[in-house]
Structure 1
Amino acid sequence: MAPATEIATLPLFAGATIEDPDSPAGKIWQSTLDTVSAQDGFQRAYYGREVENPSVVQLLVDWDSVEHHKKFIADPVYGPFSKHLMSIVEGPLTMFHANLNPHPPSAAVSGTSSPVTECLTCYFSELDPAYEENFNKLIAAVKENAEGAKAAAGGWLVEDIEHEKIGSGKKGKAFVGFLGWESVEAHQKFRETKAFNDNIHLIREGPVALEVHHTVFVEK
């Protein structure tokens, strides 16, 4: 069983200050993290708000395997746990798993090593075996040319996924990448360079859709 990273996206109710441990939302969030971290197969967790949309929190959990997370979901404790968490979540959340390389992805998604993380999701109608190699070529170019670049991790989602560009009622594949930066500004500055223009085709060619945002993660 290969290690895997759970990727959850949670839209929070307005005013849900999970960063304040004394607030109602903060207590619920801390309880959530405590419960998850007590599970068999838990390795570590990272969470943070999206820079572009601060009402959305992204939670990443490293597990010994997808099966360990599924065992937690099947446990009787999961129902009350989920209900408690959903009391601060507005609207549907999403949850997938990815086999990231390298694992753990800590260097790219922990605030101690990467103050901000570029989060990339690339959607495909079907698996493209060459895409991960292209992603790694781009990362090599970033490391060689970009000031403020820290670390990266990437991999395919385990589950099939829906997207409007894949087609109504159809599911496809998605590749996710996490690129750590010193700041959002450092990433934006790199986007203005020749090295970016010469290499960005490596990830833009192939996907039917591509989404990017930044998240400031902290590690539990």
Structure 2
Amino acid sequence: MAPATEIATIPLSAGADIEDPSSPAGKVWQSSLDTVSQQEGFQRAYYGREVENPSVVQLLVDWDSYEHHRKFIADPVYGPFAKHLMTIVDGPITMHHANFTPHPPSAALSHTTSPVTEVLTCVLPSQDESFEKNVNKFLDIVKEKAEGVKAAAQGWIIEDVEHENLGSGKKGKVFVGMIGWESLDAHMKFRETSDFKDNVHLLRKGPVAVEVHHTAFVEK
């Protein structure tokens, strides 16, 4: 069984201060992380608020395998865990799993190596090896040419995913890239270079949607 990374997007309730472990929301958050970390197959977790939308937290969890996380979801402990977490959540949580290369994706996610992470999400009608090759080519250029880039990890989401650009009732595949930067400014400066502008087309052939945001992850 291959290792897998859970990717959860969590909209927090207004005023939920999960960074303060002494606050009510902080206590719920730390308790939830403790429960996850005690499960069989848990490797490590990363979490942080989206820079562009601070009310949303991304939680990524490395598991020994996709099956280990599914086992946790099926365990009797999961119901009380989820109910407790939902006390600080405002809206539905989305959750998927990816097989990242390399695994673990720590270098691109942990704040000790990558203070901010660019999260690149590409939605396609189906899994496309030629698109994957194009993304890997683009990432090679980024790692070679960009100032301030730290590391990258990339891979396909395991589940089929719905998206409005795919059409009503249709599902497709999602390719995710995690690119660690020394700062948000470093990424913005690279976007103004010819290396970016001459090669960004590699990301645009195939997807019906491409989304980019940034998250400052802390590793548990």
Task: Tell me the TM-score range normalised by the shorter chain.
Answer: over 0.9
CA contact (8 A) 2:44 2:62 kept: yes
Query: 2:132 aligns to what?
Result: 132
Query: 1:192 aligns to what?
Result: 192
SS at match of 2:155: strand
Query: 1:78 aligns to what?
Result: 78
SS at match of 1:90: coil
**Superposed CA offset, 1:61-111 (max 9, x none):** 000000000000000000000000011010001000000000000000000
CA contact (8 A) 1:132 1:154 kept: no
Instruction: Return the alpha-carbon distance in structure 2 between the equivalents of residues 59 and 32 of structure 1.
Output: 11
SS at match of 1:143: helix
**TM-score, scaled to structure 2:** 0.99
**TM-score, scaled to structure 1:** 0.99
Unpaired runs of 5+ residues, structure 2, are none
Query: 1:23 aligns to what?
Result: 23
CA contact (8 A) 1:50 1:215 kept: yes
**Superposed CA offset, 1:2-36 (max 9, x none):** 00000000000010000000000000000010000
- Give the counterpart letter for 2:191 in structure 1: R
Instruction: Return the alpha-carbon distance in structure 1 between the equivalents of residues 197 and 205 of structure 2.
Output: 13
CA contact (8 A) 2:131 2:205 kept: no
1:55 deviates by 0.2
CA contact (8 A) 1:162 1:172 kept: yes
Instruction: Return the alpha-carbon distance in structure 2 between the equivalents of residues 55 and 209 of structure 1.
Output: 23
- Give the counterpart letter for 1:126 in structure 2: S
1:139 deviates by 1.1
Query: 1:66 aligns to what?
Result: 66
Instruction: Return the alpha-carbon distance in structure 1 between the equivalents of residues 118 and 31 of structure 2.
Output: 27
**How much identity, in percent, do the aligned residues show?**
74
Describe how 1:7-156 pairs up with structure 2 within 5 A: 7-156=7-156
CA contact (8 A) 1:111 1:216 kept: yes
**How many residue pairs were aligned?**
220
SS at match of 1:165: helix
Instruction: Return the alpha-carbon distance in structure 2 between the equivalents of residues 164 and 14 of structure 1.
Output: 27
Instruction: Return the alpha-carbon distance in structure 2 between the equivalents of residues 5 and 94 of structure 1.
Output: 14
Query: 2:183 aligns to what?
Result: 183
Deviating runs (4+, > 2 A) in structure 1?
Answer: none
- Give the counterpart letter for 1:12 in structure 2: L
Query: Which stretch shows the higher mean deviation, 203-212 or 74-83?
Result: 203-212
1:136 deviates by 1.2
Instruction: Return the alpha-carbon distance in structure 2 between the equivalents of residues 126 and 139 of structure 1.
Output: 21
1:132 deviates by 1.8
- Give the counterpart letter for 1:149 in structure 2: V
Unpaired runs of 5+ residues, structure 1, are none
Instruction: Return the alpha-carbon distance in structure 2 between the equivalents of residues 189 and 150 of structure 1.
Output: 15
- Give the counterpart letter for 2:175 in structure 1: F
